[in-house]
Structure 1
Amino acid sequence: MKFGIDTKLFKKIDWGLVFIIIVLCTWGVIMVASATRDLDSARYVKTQISSVVVGIVAVFIILSFDYKLFEKIYIHIYVISNVLLIIVLLFGQGKEQWGADRWIRIGGFGFQPSDFVKIAMIICLAKVVDDHKKYIDYIPTLGKILAFIGFPMLLILIQPDLGTTLAFGVFTFGILFIAGLKYKYILNSIMIGIFSLPFLWMGLKDYQKSRIMVFLNPEEDPTGSGYHILQSKIAIGSGEFWGSGIFKGIQHIHGFLPEKHTDFIFSMLTEELGFLGSGILILLYLFLIYRCINIARNARDDFGKYLVMGITFMISFHIIANIAMTMGLMPITGKPLPFMSYGGTFMLSNMIAVGIVLNVNMRRDKINF
């Protein structure tokens, strides 16, 4: 396996996708600066810029080798990912601050393994589905695939991290759908999901049940559980068409809007830039998704196609879940907004995902003998 970016391959980089990512990351840094005006803004901005720079380095590293390498080491990736998740269950931290032990801390450095495990499992699932695509509709084959992805999903659900578990379900469905899974299995899965809702409800933690009840009626507890979503709606509505202006948001500067630089950065952005600014952001996301789908369509093999589509479904889920959450259209899942929200681990994992997509695109016509 050769490392290093061939000049001919470099010319095949999807510069349209690169441009979109640069715009989103730059915009995200500006929004983080605005959202943290009442905090230590310089520290947050410095960390966000550092995360973007590290992400860019990670992209170049990924582009230096053929993505087919992932096929050869997918078992190692799978084992390491599950070991990390088990370590989180045994030694994870963060319950006091975020309500669940999802972080591993080594000295002064901390990271959330599930963000990277999502990418790792997309790689592993793409390989397994590619190996079994001719028999994808056979019950034993489908059961094997679901068991393969179900184990790390269970480990994440136990943390508990319902948002990431849902992301797993979305990209698993996406890859199987692209691989040609028959509609009857999809419909049966939906029916099973509906009938299992009562049992899922009984298995939820109290705070998860609270999030769902608040989603259904936030006015029931406007100063408690419903506070987040109500303030988010106020911020979005106050932006109207033009917004109050960059660095001039009232709702978040006075501390009314919680988690304004992470989960609710879309609310803060809409307050300051209005419907126009949020509309442009959504258009950028749509262009990003379109570019990814186009790359998957032109991939040189099915493994590459499944890889890119799995990432596309994952990123799409994060975008939709975050925006819908801030508008009260979905329960609060704690999922940040890709390339915009503050967070080193989340930014790096998204940049790695983009690096893999660009890698597949660069080598769409290259055949190794």
Structure 2
Amino acid sequence: MFNLKKKDLKRFDWLLFISVAFLSLYGLFILYSAFSGKISNIKSQIVATVLGFILIFVLCTMDMDVIKKAWMPVYVISLILLLLTILFGQGEQEWGSNSWLILGPIQIQPSEVTKVGIIFALAAYFDKYKSNINKPSGLLISMAFALVPVILILLQPDFGTAMVYIFFIAVMFFMAGLSWKWIIALLAIAIVGFLILLLNLKGYRADRIHDFLDPSRDTSGSGWQQQQGLIAIGSGMLTGRGYMKGTQAQYGYIPEKETDYIFSVLAEELGFIGAILMLIAFVIMIYRFIAISKNSKNTFVSLLVSGISAMFFIHIFENVGMTIGLMPVTGIPLPFFSSGGTFLLICFANVGLALSASMQKSSYDIEDASEYETIKFIR
């Protein structure tokens, strides 16, 4: 499982690593302000960050060709975690869905943990069965394999996280070579299903859609969060009000400012320049993911990093989009910025897998190296 001989250290993607290091430190900097300078509130985030960097270097020593053989156990464990969440999950009163498992002092959100597991399992599955993906029977089996975890998440119910899964699953199907005729057919089915879902939404979920379509509908009620977030972002203007000087952030006008609405804190206090700096770092990170996926000769690696790239992209797009009014409000955290040790560690794990993939030698590299050593020995 750990095999440095299968790694080319010269291929280590320093630009990806530096962008992630910058984002994680920037996130701690903004989170400290969101908690009004209370260091005790970000201790767990600091610990998760340190553990995350250790996790990256551990994953960088792992042989991708070996660990991909564990894709079925990883998939099964992911499903078990999601089933346990349906049976024993908590959090509906606080967060709107029973998406958390509480084990004494430990609190985890399995749907976040299983993101990396499902991406990993899907990459290995498509690597093994991609020749069947455009056959009707093969496509049905592949869809069932991919959508079971989504159904389990919808039963919690956690629609925002389910949408994240659907997005990266769709990207991975496309990268696996799904025919355009199937893409168009599935897209039509998805649109119809989405419209039916919208028409049957009730409670606060329906309010979020209505508030998105009409932001002035209920600014003192269900639209309060969105409205206060927009006020914070707008008041930041070019350079911001100053670090830890944001009136919306520091006086508690923004709900969930440490998690879902952390971007509003950043934009209010550091302004457009601070927000653009964050977005540039995210663009560099995703660009490097795409480059690793594109340049890899290994189908499993290419699909794995494509899924990771899609997961990060939809998180960033949805989180920033909802704070500026481009998307409905959902409980989607911003990678490396939102408070939450579980999600932060999963982000680091995904980065670690991508960096490990970038250094993985292909079978051709190994054969060439062996041949070179043989010739050298003979001489």
In the alignment, is the contact (CA less than 8 A) between 1:296 and 1:304 conserved in 2?
yes
Percent of aligned positions that are identical: 39
Structure 1 residues 1-369: aligned runs within 5 Å: 1=1, 3=2, 5=4, 9-37=8-36, 41-365=38-362
Distance 1:181 1:85 in 2: 27
RMSD: 1.7
Deviation string 1:217-249 (CA, Å, 9 cap, x unpaired) is 132111110000000110110011111111211
Distance 2:190 2:159 in 1: 15
Cα offset, 1:104, TM superposition: 0.9
Using the TM superposition, name which of 80-89 and 217-226 deviates more: 217-226
- AA at the equivalent of 1:351: F
Distance 1:181 1:208 in 2: 33
Deviation string 1:331-350 (CA, Å, 9 cap, x unpaired) is 11111111111110110000
Asked which structure has the greater CA Rg, the reply is: 2
Deviation string 1:235-278 (CA, Å, 9 cap, x unpaired) is 11001111111121111111111111111111110111111111
Using the TM superposition, name which of 43-52 and 224-233 deviates more: 43-52
SS of the residue 2:11 aligns to: coil
Deviation string 1:187-223 (CA, Å, 9 cap, x unpaired) is 2222222223342135534222121111111321111
Using the TM superposition, name which of 158-167 and 128-137 deviates more: 128-137
Change (3 A) 1:368 1:144: farther
Change (3 A) 1:223 1:68: same
Match of 2:370 in 1: none
In the alignment, is the contact (CA less than 8 A) between 2:7 and 2:360 conserved in 1?
no
SS of the residue 1:223 aligns to: coil
- AA at the equivalent of 1:245: G
- AA at the equivalent of 2:278: L
Match of 2:376 in 1: none
Using the TM superposition, name which of 42-51 and 315-324 deviates more: 42-51
Structure 1: tracts of 5 or more residues without a match: none
In the alignment, is the contact (CA less than 8 A) between 2:55 and 2:352 conserved in 1?
yes
SS of the residue 1:335 aligns to: coil
In the alignment, is the contact (CA less than 8 A) between 2:6 and 2:63 conserved in 1?
no
Match of 2:371 in 1: none
Distance 2:214 2:53 in 1: 42
Distance 2:260 2:232 in 1: 14
In the alignment, is the contact (CA less than 8 A) between 1:170 and 1:314 conserved in 2?
yes
Deviation string 1:303-362 (CA, Å, 9 cap, x unpaired) is 110000010001000000000010111111111111111110110000000000001001
Cα offset, 1:182, TM superposition: 1.8
What number of residue pairs does the alignment pair up?
366
Deviation string 1:100-148 (CA, Å, 9 cap, x unpaired) is 1111111111111111111101111111111222232212111111100
- AA at the equivalent of 2:143: L
Distance 1:189 1:365 in 2: 34
